[in-house]
Structure 1
């Protein structure tokens, strides 16, 4: 009999497809493309030609869709959900997409990738030890100088509790501090938080208001060290 976790993963695409109306890769709008270009473009452009970039936990191929449109990049995806991988393969023909457990896949591909994107994944990993093993395995799968980019829910945001429990498969949320701590202990160097930016005026105004509101509350509560308040926290680190 499959575990609760396995059952949740296998119904993930169908459930969230109904909740979000559409999670197919074609749903990548111009606004989505511009946002990804702003957040990820500099990292990808700095890579040498024909660099292999892994989307770890690629789901239905949302990020892979963007990666496939970047010149000189060989995008590769992996996810443990059969149903989500089937959607990704159907809609992104010609891209290498494997159905495998992420930790196993990373350990089978040492020194292969120039970059690894791990977005909305680590919050699903059960147990702190296993979460650290994922980061360590990602480092082993990177070529020297390669980057590991991570995005997770931010517990410092006022909606952090919602982000933690909105998905029954979520195991944790992070702060900027705990995410950097995990990445450094996992073997990554020059780790830094990547501020979330918007390509549009309204989005930037929202980010400014969000920051000022949270900053005021944190100062009042004596938590003045925190600076990252967006509902997700992003960070990048590099293999030495």
Structure 2
């Protein structure tokens, strides 16, 4: 089974698309969120890809980043882009990084690529890996829906805002806010109680 949900096979296409015209989408929102974190916070970027532009935005804000991505090709480029930054080529649901504690965790553009049960597991693992008061930020459409991913042609699925809110609450997280960015990505910002 391809734990990268087709992104290893389509890594070159993803990298080309993300670096041409879309490279700034989400950066301002992630930077705004990063500024709500303590100085030098340790942040886990789940589904980090090559690290550009989201991990880069966090690093530029002075945060200590760790990355997870299931695509070998993406992780290799991440290592080239950010030598010395800890990164693991692992599926989110299997990552050993969840055995640690973080000040914040983010998953930009990942959750809806995962099967429903895997999304539930990953939300619980992210919650468990947050320190008390830690922040979680992830993107997924607010509507419950399924669609074909533009790059991999595999099914993507949003569980919808009500389900995500229920999963966050069941995981000991309190939703702080929801918002959208310039690319119409919907964000869920939560804190561990």
Counterparts of 1:53 and 1:113, CA distance in 2: 6
Ranges of 4+ aligned residues in structure 1 off by more than 6 Å:
none
Normalized per residue, which structure has more strand?
2
1:118 aligns with 2:107: yes
1:65 aligns with 2:56: yes
TM-score by length of 1: 0.68
Partner of 1:195 in structure 2? 179
Counterparts of 2:114 and 2:43, CA distance in 1: 22
Q: 1:165 is matched with which residue: 136, 141, 148?
A: 148
Contact 1:154 1:232 in 2 (8 A): no
Q: CA deviation at 1:178?
A: 2.9
Instruction: Name the SS for the 1:173 alignment partner.
Output: strand
TM-score by length of 2: 0.82
Q: 1:176 is matched with which residue: 161, 164, 171?
A: 161
Partner of 2:66 in structure 1? 76
Q: Which runs of 5+ in 1 are unaligned?
A: 199-229
Q: How does 1:35-46 map to 2 (within 5 A)?
A: 36-37=27-28, 39-46=29-36
Contact 2:43 2:64 in 1 (8 A): yes
Normalized per residue, which structure has more helix?
1
Partner of 2:139 in structure 1? 151
Larger Rg: 1
Q: Which runs of 5+ in 2 are unaligned?
A: none
Evaluate the alpha carbon distance shift between residue 6 and residue 108 of structure 1 in structure 2; reply closer, same or farther with a 3 A threshold: closer
**Corresponding pairs, count:** 190
Counterparts of 1:78 and 1:231, CA distance in 2: 24
Evaluate the alpha carbon distance shift between residue 122 and residue 6 of structure 1 in structure 2; reply closer, same or farther with a 3 A threshold: closer
Counterparts of 1:118 and 1:5, CA distance in 2: 16
Cα deviations by residue, 1:3-38 (Å, 9 ceiling, x for unpaired)? 3666823213123345x2x549xx886xx28x523x
Question: Cα RMSD over matched residues?
Answer: 2.8
Cα deviations by residue, 1:36-64 (Å, 9 ceiling, x for unpaired)? 23x23343223223210111010111211
